[in-house]
Amino acid sequence: MSDCCAPGVRNANGRYDLVVVGAGSAGFSAAIAAAEEGAQVALVGHGTIGGTCVNVGCVPSKTLIRATEAVHQANIASERFAGVEGHGRVSNWSRVAAQKDDLVSGLRQTKYIDLLPEYNNVTYNECAARLVDGGVDADGKLLKSDRIVIATGARPSVPVISGIETVDFLDSTSALALTELPRSMIVLGSGYVGAELAQMFARAGVAVTLIFRSRLLPEAEPEIGEALTRYLAAEGIQIVSGVAYRSVDRTDAGGVVVAYSRGGHPEAITADRLLIATGRTPNTEGLGLSEMGVGQEPSGAIIVDDRMRTSRAGVYAAGDVTGRDQFVYMAAYGAKLAARNALNGNSLRYDSAAMPAVVFTDPQVASVGLTEARARALGHDVRMSVLSLDNVPRALAARDTRGLIKLVADGRTRKFLGAHILAPEGADSIQTAALAIRGGLTIDDLADTIFPYLTTVEGLKLAAQTFDRDVKKLSCCAG
């Protein structure tokens, strides 16, 4: 990595075709896309290279989720399969955490640090950055450019609750860094981070209370949120919904107490630790956005159009800092478009119509396309199909029929509009639905497609057939 103020070898005058601010997944995507087109690029990173996903988000959370899933599967094996006994427990969380850290550092090295020498037209600068007239001020060094991509990401946000600043709460970053497990934990938040981490810690042996204002996974189909709530409760997670927070305070024993009201009645819960999982805040402080006329939402998110352009000519933004579609693959996608548009004339449009999304609970939640409510709001003549997993042979063979598949279609054109899956292996099925939506297929196309037997993805075919037929009256693979 180069020193902050050292110019690139071929940029002694400090001028670049593109300056990218942010060295996470989005920033690297923009820099590589530009470099592959022959552009001279300055990449400015501040903090741990690689950003959220590899360091404190996707990678560490999913490996810990998988570890505790193995514990859970061992413990319930005898309930599902006759003649099988199993027992699992976390015997040493610090070793689990150390293995996670090894994976994170390895991926950070191979997928970020080691990539920089492969692109000799990318100059890396490790320092704070600020937009100024003529380019970017990188800790006192002017990186001259008419084109800038901002990809500084986001961080966990903290809700406004009386007393919250007085307790040593965890966020998703610090929770994943724990080397010892608490005996009990309150998880605040109903989104995917709260749901994933609540189940993970519960399976590791922590007594977990999941508390939130509205309903679990409020952006998911109601049937899925309701079903997942039941499944988490069945695993021993205490779920408290529909609350209004009153205060947070420390207990005499060194724990935390959350006071709230529900149905007009004051209540409180206590635990050793509090985990805040109530959303994310864009990293925009110190970038000089208002001074440079870059428009922002009240949340701080940078406003962009469908070409990733901000309100200032020549300045683009992508990834979590824009507040849209906060998934690492969408950040990389948007950043690539931003870089190419900046260099080549704004011809590429951001399109998330076939964007798959996954929540790594167990069962997994996977979705793509329109929800029922969104389809109705857009004026479609909505038809739906809801198939419980006890109609899917794979689920029967695995003796785990938790979940459902919901498809949304236009009743007039029969065009396939959306798929929403709750299934233990649902994440690996959603891409088929994404391709179907991208290809403009109908539910008839999906129903007539050949699917392999005894797979979860076969449930898509069965759910498509359910629009017009009773699949209980079909033999295996019929239709």
> Is residue 320 part of an annotated ligand binding site?
yes
> Is residue 151 part of an annotated ligand binding site?
no
Domains of the chain and CATH, by start = 18-50+112-156+281-344 (3.50.50.60), 164-278 (3.50.50.60), 357-468 (3.30.390.30)
> Is residue 433 part of an annotated ligand binding site?
no
> Is residue 168 part of an annotated ligand binding site?
no
Distance CA 314, CA 126 (A): 23
| Alpha-helical segments (H) within 4-92 | 25-36, 51-56, 58-80
Classify residue 179 by its DSSP letter: S
Two structure tokens written together for 92 = 């040493």
Q: What is the pLDDT of residue 208?
A: 98
> Is residue 62 part of an annotated ligand binding site?
yes
Q: What is the pLDDT of residue 296?
A: 98
Q: What is the pLDDT of residue 477?
A: 72
The answer to whether the CB of 107 falls within 8 A of the CB of 54 is: yes
Taking residue 297's Cβ as centre, other Cβ atoms within 10 Å add up to: 11
> Is residue 124 part of an annotated ligand binding site?
no
> Is residue 255 part of an annotated ligand binding site?
no
Classify residue 266 by its DSSP letter: E
Taking residue 445's Cβ as centre, other Cβ atoms within 10 Å add up to: 15
Distance CA 236, CA 213 (A): 20
> Is residue 50 part of an annotated ligand binding site?
no
Q: What DSSP letter does each residue of 102-152 carry, written as one string?
A: HHHHHHHHHHTGGGGGG-TTEEEEES-EEEETTEEEETTEEEE-S-EEE--
The answer to whether the CB of 319 falls within 8 A of the CB of 273 is: no
Classify residue 303 by its DSSP letter: P
Two structure tokens written together for 225 = 């949120």
Low-confidence ranges of the chain (pLDDT < 70): 1-12, 478-479
> Is residue 189 part of an annotated ligand binding site?
yes
| Backbone phi, psi, residue 313, to 5° | -60, 135
